[in-house]
């Protein structure tokens, strides 16, 4: 009669939680296992020092320089974050302090809907509308610039919603006190609201950057996918993510393993960014 | 100085309105483009006919079936895992306990992992290591890993929004924790779970990169979950990039996907507002 349902439940829940937490460890280990043969055959430094990216099943006849693609990923992310951050902060300010309540609610709904639109739809729109427009300004069209524009549109909702949430977290007293001191709206924002929510805003920007660097489909569709270090905004580029999506279908042997290495690099970069964002949000840094 | 401040104040007003209008117009442009081009061949037959000629003509019936199967597998696996973890995090661990912190940090990182990395993992683990091959099963399982963090976060928020009075009252009546959970907390926290499911479906249905090398490209009607099946987002990608002349059907498919997602978004907002006064999502 000593059937302890509470104890059983607790152990059941613990098992499930460990399984859920274990997914990340599983992903990490499988990427590592698949990368090992590339690290052993090709070696870590050849990914940065080889003359070009001409992968081959056999590591001796191929060359494996990832630098142009790492730079490609980095430039697109930087451009998108640079453009999206001010727009997103202004959007959130609009929602919170400037717009009449009905307009603010409507605008927030628009942003929420667009945060949920899949990347393949943005990519498709970029391919059929944006790329031809850029081609008219300067051929070939698919370019770093197209990638930056599409990513800006994609991460703007992410950063705007996080900033919006950060503004909501500012204690009401701050606003009341600022009003009582007779501050203008801009003075209030600059002196009280923005400093009080700077951790939330920073976390939003970091997460936006993470989304930008991990984005695959939209970038794959608008960036042209030429492996080169871009010299201008109108040059086509290939990012790490697009490279995986393009070559995984036929890659074997060391080539396949090299693609897992680039996935591993992405995973480590993102994990670092998320942890920094968490620390920033928790006010540790 | 006084005038100078006044100008900054005015400039900012102009700045935020211009930004808001510009962003709205941009989004209206994207939406209207997809709407106007997609509506041209959207019809009932488009939804119930299978794709012909690599998708240039015909409909998306088999694609919709594959998408549904992938979703079902994803939810069947992710729901119990996500639900159990959320209960543990909300009811059995406090914010600062080490075990809870580790799990939570793990899930935060998992939420940020790029979908293409999930694709690589799914290919190595489900397709090859577990021998499932390119199949709807592999795709669904990969997506299950992906939606887990979203599911857990909203369900946990649902449980945390339940007032402690309920728990004390249940304890006062001598109910065990398991009984309290099933009979008291679960009904109150159900909207949180519902929002989690809806958001998870939204994320799963929008996914492309994770499915490229797990569920594959085949656009035939799937015979079982071990067949390869093409999801709706991959269909859009394939039509626009690999099939010359597939643009008009790509538009229509994109419209179907956007409509599905908007409905999903509205459902989650409706559930949130209807049952909790709007504090479930954070």
Residues 130-159 in A contacting B (C-alpha not used; CB under 8 Å): 153, 156
* pLDDT tens figures, B121-150: 999 999 989 988 889 999 999 999 999 998
Domain formed by A66-281, architecture: Orthogonal Bundle (1.10)
Tell me, what's the pLDDT at B71? 92
Question: Domain ranges in chain A?
Answer: 5-54, 66-281
Other Cβ atoms closer than 10 A to A19: 15
Chain B residues with CB-CB distance to A205 below 8 A: none
pLDDT band at A18 (very low <50, low <70, confident <90, very high): confident
Residue with the larger pLDDT of the pair A191 and B73: B73
What total of structural domains would you count in chain B? 1
pLDDT band at B281 (very low <50, low <70, confident <90, very high): very low
Tell me, what's the pLDDT at A82? 94
In this structure, of A4-18, B23-37, B113-127, the range with the lowest mean pLDDT score is A4-18
Tell me, what's the pLDDT at B187? 81
Tell me, what's the pLDDT at B2? 60
* pLDDT tens figures, A79-109: 999 999 999 999 999 988 888 888 988 898 8
In chain B, the residue whose alpha carbon lies closest to the alpha carbon of A7 is: B178
Look up the domain containing B152 and give its range. Answer: 44-276
What CA–CA distance (Å, rounded) separates A31 from A261? Answer: 7
pLDDT band at A152 (very low <50, low <70, confident <90, very high): very high
Q: Is A215's Cβ below 8 Å from some Cβ in B?
A: yes
* pLDDT tens figures, B163-204: 888 888 888 998 888 888 888 888 888 878 888 888 888 888
* pLDDT tens figures, B216-262: 888 888 888 888 888 999 999 998 888 888 888 899 999 999 998 88
Does the residue B12 lie in any domain?
Answer: no
Q: Which residues contact A23 (CB under 8 A, 6 or more apart)?
A: B110, B145, B148
Does the residue B119 lie in any domain?
Answer: yes
Does the residue B21 lie in any domain?
Answer: no
Tell me if A266 and B117 make a contact (CB, 8 A cut-off). Answer: yes
Q: Is B238's Cβ below 8 Å from some Cβ in A?
A: no
Tell me if A207 and B247 make a contact (CB, 8 A cut-off). Answer: no
For range A30-49, the mean pLDDT = 85
CATH number at residue B192: 1.10.3720.10
Tell me, what's the pLDDT at B6? 77
């Amino acid at each position: 009669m000593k059937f302890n349902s509470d104890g059983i439940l607790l152990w059941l829940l613990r098992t499930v939680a460990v399984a859920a937490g274990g997914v990340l460890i599983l992903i990490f280990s499988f990427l590592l296992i698949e990368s090992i043969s590339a690290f052993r055959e090709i070696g870590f430094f050849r990914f940065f020092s080889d003359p070009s990216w001409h992968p081959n099943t056999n590591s001796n006849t191929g060359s494996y320089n990832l630098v142009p693609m790492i730079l490609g990923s980095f430039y697109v992310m930087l451009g998108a974050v640079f453009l999206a951050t001010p727009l997103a902060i202004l959007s959130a300010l609009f929602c919170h302090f400037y717009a009449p309540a009905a307009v603010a609610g409507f605008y927030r709904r628009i942003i929420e809907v667009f945060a949920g639109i899949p990347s393949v739809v943005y990519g498709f729109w970029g391919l059929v509308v944006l790329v031809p427009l850029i081609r008219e300004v300067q051929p070939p069209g698919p370019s770093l610039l197209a990638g930056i524009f599409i990513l800006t549109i994609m991460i703007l909702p992410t950063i705007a919603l996080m900033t919006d949430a950060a503004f909501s977290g500012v204690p009401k007293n701050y606003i009341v006190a600022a009003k009582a001191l007779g501050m203008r709206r801009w003075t209030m924002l600059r002196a009280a609201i923005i400093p009080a929510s700077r951790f939330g805003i920073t976390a939003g920007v970091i997460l936006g950057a993470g989304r930008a660097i991990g984005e695959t489909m939209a970038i794959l569709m608008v960036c042209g996918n030429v492996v080169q270090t871009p010299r201008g905004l109108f040059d086509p580029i290939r990012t790490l993510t697009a490279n995986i999506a393009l070559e995984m279908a036929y890659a074997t042997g060391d080539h396949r393993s090299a693609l897992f290495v680039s996935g591993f690099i992405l995973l480590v970069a993102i994990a670092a960014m998320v942890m920094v964002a968490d620390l920033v949000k928790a006010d540790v840094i | 100085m006084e005038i100078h401040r006044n100008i900054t104040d005015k400039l900012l007003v102009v700045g935020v309105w211009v930004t808001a209008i510009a962003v709205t117009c941009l989004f209206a442009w994207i939406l209207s483009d997809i709407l106007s081009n997609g509506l041209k061949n959207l019809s009932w037959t488009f939804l119930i006919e299978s794709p012909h000629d690599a998708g240039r003509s015909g409909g998306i019936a088999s694609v919709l079936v594959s998408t549904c199967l992938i979703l079902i597998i994803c939810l069947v696996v992710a729901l119990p895992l996500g639900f159990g973890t959320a209960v543990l995090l909300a009811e059995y661990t406090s914010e600062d306990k080490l075990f809870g912190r580790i799990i939570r940090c793990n899930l935060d990182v998992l939420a940020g992992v790029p979908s293409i990395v999930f694709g690589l993992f799914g290919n190595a683990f489900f397709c090859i290591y577990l021998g499932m091959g390119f199949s709807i099963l592999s795709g669904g399982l990969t997506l299950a890993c992906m939606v887990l963090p979203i599911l857990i976060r909203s369900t946990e928020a649902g449980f945390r929004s339940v007032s402690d009075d309920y728990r004390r009252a249940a304890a006062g009546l001598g109910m065990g924790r398991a009984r309290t959970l099933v009979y008291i907390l679960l009904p109150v926290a159900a909207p949180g779970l519902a929002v989690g499911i809806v958001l998870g479906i939204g994320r799963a249905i929008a996914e492309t990169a994770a499915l490229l090398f797990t569920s594959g490209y085949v656009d035939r009607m799937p015979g079982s979950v071990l067949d390869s099946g093409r999801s709706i987002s991959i269909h859009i990608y394939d039509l626009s990039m690999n099939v010359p002349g597939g643009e008009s059907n790509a538009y229509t498919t994109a419209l179907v996907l956007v409509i599905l997602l908007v409905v999903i978004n509205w459902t989650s907002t409706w559930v949130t507002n209807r049952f909790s006064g709007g504090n479930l999502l954070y």
